[in-house]
């Protein structure tokens, strides 16, 4: 998949509406994690260095069409200004007369940031009128918000139908990396899939099965697979309505020659509130206990497998990693992923948080900025924010 790059456009002196993903955690006026802001910097810098009159737009949180003071983008504009060492004007609304006037006053190489798009209920409704208001602000449209590419919203799909459209560097890297996983992975290729529920990951597991050699399963979803094998899980989280799908995945894995790895030991406790869990085998889980992490033997086995692979994709924690008592399995696997010399890709907020907390992010080849978007991409689904961008023809309008 090759989509038209913004580098093919003559942006000098032109108004460029760039959809970015600045959906970052904020506490008051403080940005708690600016990873997504920094991820957009190469695109932003290229546009202003080529004298674009740059209009950035993003959503933040889930205001549900209402103005919320705690979800304004002014703190993001302030942080971006620090990172690029030039002023960024934060607008008080996404569209309207004041925005139009501010855009008219933009000079080449300058930047303004529209207010939270989701303050307007028409954004998530992909309202054509809102798309037209956004499009009227610009001459060109660039989508660099991979984390929102799976949403058919006015700023991700609607406006792209109205303006000459292309993608930025972040979107380009996400597409090329995930396409490589699907079409040209160096073998052996392994996927680590964790998280709470099988239902969240069925699509990506089924699509990856013919492409991978090893499937390492952890987290709450492993419980459903263990129950499907007849294990007694006590009070553990399980999806009894997904047992047949779990069995189907195991049968399909055998058919495709993919080895499925499941926990042989686990960390259990009577409550998630305990300070320390107990390690036991999957055959000896007491009725009053629940599974909250993979055990040390399983973690070591998974680490050994990872060392033998040439490509690794990881999505989802292997335990309740936000609790210290149940974070060791995820930490062990994170360290193993970082230590390998293979091509490594991580997608999903909790997996990313684990490697960042351990200071290992720099050792990962690609950390996807879109958990849901990366999963849908790897499921083989068409993402509206990508599909609407014209394919790269190789020609240049610059």
Whether 183 and 311 map to the same domain: the answer is yes
Whether 267 and 283 map to the same domain: the answer is yes
Whether 296 and 163 map to the same domain: the answer is no
Do the domain assignments include residue 194? yes
Choose the catalytic residue: 36, 53, 122, 231. Answer: 36
Question: pLDDT at residue 397 above 70?
Answer: no
Q: Which domain holds residue 268?
A: 177-378
Q: What percent of the chain has pLDDT over 70?
A: 98
Do the domain assignments include residue 391? no
Is 231 in the active site? no
Do the domain assignments include residue 203? yes
Do the domain assignments include residue 316? yes
Which residues have CB under 8 Å from 332's CB, separation 6+? 296, 299, 300, 302, 303
Whether 216 and 247 map to the same domain: the answer is yes
Do the domain assignments include residue 256? yes
CB-CB contact of 265 with 292 (8 Å): no
Question: How far apart (Å, rounded) are the C-alpha atoms in residues 17 and 36?
Answer: 18
Question: How far apart (Å, rounded) are the C-alpha atoms in residues 21 and 56?
Answer: 10
Choose the catalytic residue: 8, 109, 349, 357. Answer: 349
Name the H helices within 13-124: 35-39, 41-49, 74-84, 97-105
Retrieve residue 254's tokens.
């055998």
Do the domain assignments include residue 388? no
Tell me: is residue 201 an annotated ligand-binding position: yes
Whether 304 and 190 map to the same domain: the answer is yes
Whether 100 and 195 map to the same domain: the answer is no
Question: pLDDT at residue 344 above 70?
Answer: yes
Is 197 in the active site? yes
Whether 11 and 139 map to the same domain: the answer is yes
Whether 123 and 239 map to the same domain: the answer is no
**CATH number of the structural domain spanning residue 369:** 3.40.50.1260
Whether 184 and 151 map to the same domain: the answer is no
Whether 309 and 348 map to the same domain: the answer is yes
Please report which confidence band the pLDDT of residue 395 belongs to, taking 50, 70 and 90 as the band edges.
low
Retrieve residue 245's tokens.
């799908």
CB-CB contact of 145 with 19 (8 Å): yes
Choose the catalytic residue: 173, 203, 372, 381. Answer: 372
Do the domain assignments include residue 385? no
Question: pLDDT at residue 299 above 60?
Answer: yes
Question: pLDDT at residue 149 above 90?
Answer: yes
Alpha carbons within 13 angstroms on the beta-carbon side of residue 85 total 1
Predicted confidence at residue 154, as pLDDT, reads: 98
Which residues have CB under 8 Å from 263's CB, separation 6+? 217, 218, 222, 226, 282, 291, 294, 295, 298
Question: How many domains is the chain built from?
Answer: 2
Q: Is 246 exposed, middle or buried (0-12, 13-18, 19+ CB in 10 A)?
A: buried
Crossing angle, helix 169-183 and helix 41-49, to 10 degrees? Answer: 130
Whether 130 and 220 map to the same domain: the answer is no
Tell me: is residue 381 an annotated ligand-binding position: no
Do the domain assignments include residue 60? yes
Tell me: is residue 351 an annotated ligand-binding position: yes
Is 329 in the active site? no
Residue 310's alpha-carbon distances to 186, 272, 298, in angstroms, are: 6, 36, 20
Crossing angle, helix 74-84 and helix 41-49, to 10 degrees? Answer: 70
Tell me: is residue 374 an annotated ligand-binding position: no
Query: 30-39, 67-76, 277-286, 296-305: lowest mean pLDDT where?
Result: 30-39
Whether 184 and 161 map to the same domain: the answer is no
Domain boundary among 117, 137, 170: 170
Choose the catalytic residue: 197, 301, 310, 363. Answer: 197
126: alpha, beta or left? (left if phi > 0; alpha if psi -120 to 50): left
pTM to 2 decimal places: 0.92
Tell me: is residue 343 an annotated ligand-binding position: no
């Amino acid at each position: 998949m090759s989509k038209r790059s913004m580098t093919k456009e003559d942006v000098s002196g032109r108004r460029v509406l760039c959809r970015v993903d600045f959906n970052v955690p904020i506490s008051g006026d403080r940005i708690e994690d600016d990873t997504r802001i920094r991820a957009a910097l190469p695109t932003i810098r290229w546009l202003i260095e080529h004298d674009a009159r740059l209009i950035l737009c993003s959503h933040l949180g889930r205001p549900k069409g209402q103005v919320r003071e705690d979800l304004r983008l002014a703190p993001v504009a302030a942080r971006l200004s620090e990172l690029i060492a030039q002023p960024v004007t934060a607008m008080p609304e996404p569209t309207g007369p004041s925005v139009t006037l501010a855009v008219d006053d933009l000079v080449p190489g300058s930047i303004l940031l529209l207010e939270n798009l989701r303050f307007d209920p028409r954004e998530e409704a992909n309202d054509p009128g809102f798309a037209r208001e956004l499009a009227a602000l610009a001459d060109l449209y660039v989508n660099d918000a991979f984390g929102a590419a799976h949403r058919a919203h006015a700023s991700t799909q609607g406006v792209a139908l109205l303006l000459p459209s292309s993608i930025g560097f972040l979107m380009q890297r996400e597409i090329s990396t995930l396409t490589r996983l699907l079409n040209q992975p160096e073998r052996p290729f392994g996927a680590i899939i964790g998280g709470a529920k099988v239902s969240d990951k069925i699509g990506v597991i089924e699509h990856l099965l013919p492409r991978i050699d090893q499937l390492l399963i952890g987290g709450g979803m492993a419980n459903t697979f263990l129950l499907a094998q007849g294990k007694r899980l006590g009070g553990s989280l399980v999806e009894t309505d997904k047992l047949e799908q779990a069995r189907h995945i195991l049968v399909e894995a055998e058919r495709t020659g993919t080895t499925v790895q499941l926990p042989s030991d686990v960390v259990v406790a009577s409550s998630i509130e305990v300070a320390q869990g107990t390690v036991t085998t999957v055959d000896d889980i007491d009725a009053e206990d629940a599974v909250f992490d993979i055990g040390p033997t399983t973690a070591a086995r998974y680490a050994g497998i990872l060392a033998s692979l040439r490509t690794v994709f990881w999505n989802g924690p292997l335990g309740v990693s936000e609790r210290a008592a149940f974070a060791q399995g995820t930490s062990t696997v994170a360290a193993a992923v970082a230590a390998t010399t293979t091509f490594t890709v991580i997608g999903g907020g909790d997996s990313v948080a684990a490697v960042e907390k351990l200071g290992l992010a720099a050792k990962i080849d690609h950390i996807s900025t879109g958990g849901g978007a990366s999963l849908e991409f790897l499921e083989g689904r068409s993402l509206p924010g990508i599909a609407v961008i014209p394919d790269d023809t190789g020609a240049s309008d610059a």
